[in-house]
């Protein structure tokens, strides 16, 4: 009797494991056990000097404090604080092209990336993403050109069809960005986005949040660098703010982007007077 119960409970457990596995491929949010990448580590032993770029950036002394949220991690901060440098380093260390795209893109329009990737260790989870994309607003135009070139040479399926079929150069910036998020991102993916709001209207930024939510519910993990208080509003996300002091974790309402925007909207006249008096 005991043996039969044991047998049945084992069969039950096995069935649960199979069902969970099947479900993972569909609609399940990642958690701490299933997230694709967990944290960062800066391998300081072979860094020759901390006086030069990129190791002179304040963020470098706190890289090890960055623990990725299973769903969304935001990297924010003033211009020049090192967000793009950090995201680029992470992306290249994971095997992406410095200018962005999927793991299969390997074109190079202008080779100016830092050597940070060689000094970063990325602590991965046990699960592997099925989809991957490094979206870099600054160089998305080059990705679009590369897609056209590859599609001209290819005799088989066209890459542009996975972006909705319409040339990305024949769409507005915002439309082309959105085609990537809506058509190309397939879920169960790791998505690294550098200032994706660059061409998006406030309304589109809200639509982007809805798209992020869909993809998170389909087992995706995001790392997003942004200046947009709208885009950084995903609930329960982790926000790291880069400042001259290093890296600190913040709630949305505590971030400088949010408070400055709020002050401006709530008291535009006073802010303008203050700004013009200073100039
Ligand atoms: N190839 C490079 N060589 C030397 N310095 C660089 C290089 N690229 C960037 N920097 C410097 O490193 C700093 C961080 O640049 P980065 O582009 O990472 O900042 P960011 O936080 O992404 O800024 P933004 O919000 O303006 O996009 C800047 O002061 C920049 O001038």
ipTM, 2 decimals? Answer: 0.98
d(CA 9, CA 29): 27
Closest ligand 1 atom, residue 86 Cα: 18
| Phi/psi of residue 222, nearest 5 degrees | -120, 145
Q: Whose CA is nearest to atom 30 of ligand 1?
A: 80
Testing ligand 1's pocket by substitution, the residue of 83, 88, 197 carrying the most ligand atoms inside 8 A of its CB is 83
Domain 30-251 fold is Rossmann fold (3.40.50)
CB of 139 shorter than 6 A to ligand 1: no
Kindly list the domain boundaries of the chain, sorted by start residue.
30-251
Q: Whose CA is nearest to atom 26 of ligand 1?
A: 79
| Tens-digit pLDDT string for the chain (279 aa) | 444 554 455 555 555 555 555 455 557 899 999 999 999 999 999 899 999 999 999 999 999 999 999 999 999 999 999 999 999 999 999 999 988 888 888 777 666 778 999 999 999 999 999 999 999 988 888 888 888 888 888 777 888 988 898 888 998 998 988 898 998 999 999 999 999 999 899 999 999 999 999 999 999 999 999 999 999 999 999 999 999 999 999 999 999 999 999 999 999 999 999 999 876
- The DSSP call for residue 67 is B
Structure tokens at 138: 């600054």
Q: Count CB neighbours of 247 within 10 A.
A: 22
Inter-residue contact 117 to 78 (CB < 8 Å): no
Ligand 1: distance of its center to the CA of 276 in Å? 28
Enter the pTM of the model.
0.88
Ligand 1: distance of its center to the CA of 77 in Å? 12
pLDDT score of 140? 83
d(CA 17, CA 14): 5
CB of 244 shorter than 6 A to ligand 1: no
Closest ligand 1 atom, residue 114 Cα: 1
Ligand 1: distance of its center to the CA of 39 in Å? 22
CB of 53 shorter than 6 A to ligand 1: yes
């Amino acid at each position: 009797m005991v043996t039969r119960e044991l047998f049945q409970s084992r069969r039950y457990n096995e069935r649960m494991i199979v069902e969970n596995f099947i479900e993972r491929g569909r609609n399940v949010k990642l958690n701490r056990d299933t997230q694709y990448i967990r944290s960062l580590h800066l391998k300081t032993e072979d860094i020759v000097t901390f006086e030069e770029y990129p190791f002179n950036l304040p963020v470098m002394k706190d890289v090890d404090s960055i623990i990725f949220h299973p769903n969304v991690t935001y990297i924010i901060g003033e211009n020049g604080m090192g967000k793009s440098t950090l995201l680029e380093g992470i992306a290249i260390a994971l095997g992406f092209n410095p200018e962005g795209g999927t793991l299969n893109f390997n074109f190079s329009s202008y080779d100016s990336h830092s050597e940070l990737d060689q000094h970063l260790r990325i602590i991965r989870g046990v699960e592997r993403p099925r989809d991957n994309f490094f979206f870099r607003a600054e160089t998305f135009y080059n990705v679009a050109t590369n897609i056209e070139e590859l599609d001209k040479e290819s005799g088989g399926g066209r890459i542009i069809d996975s972006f909705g079929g319409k040339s990305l150069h024949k769409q507005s910036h915002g439309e082309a960005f959105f085609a990537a998020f809506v058509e190309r991102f397939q879920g169960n993916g790791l998505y690294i986005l550098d200032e994706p709001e660059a061409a998006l209207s406030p309304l589109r930024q809200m639509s982007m949040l809805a798209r992020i939510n869909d993809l998170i519910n389909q087992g995706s993990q995001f790392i997003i660098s942004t200046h947009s208080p709208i885009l950084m509003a995903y609930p329960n996300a982790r926000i790291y703010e880069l400042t001259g002091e290093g890296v600190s974790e913040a709630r949305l309402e505590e971030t400088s982007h949010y408070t400055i925007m709020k002050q401006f909207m709530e008291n535009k006249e006073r802010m303008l007077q203050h700004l013009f008096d200073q100039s």
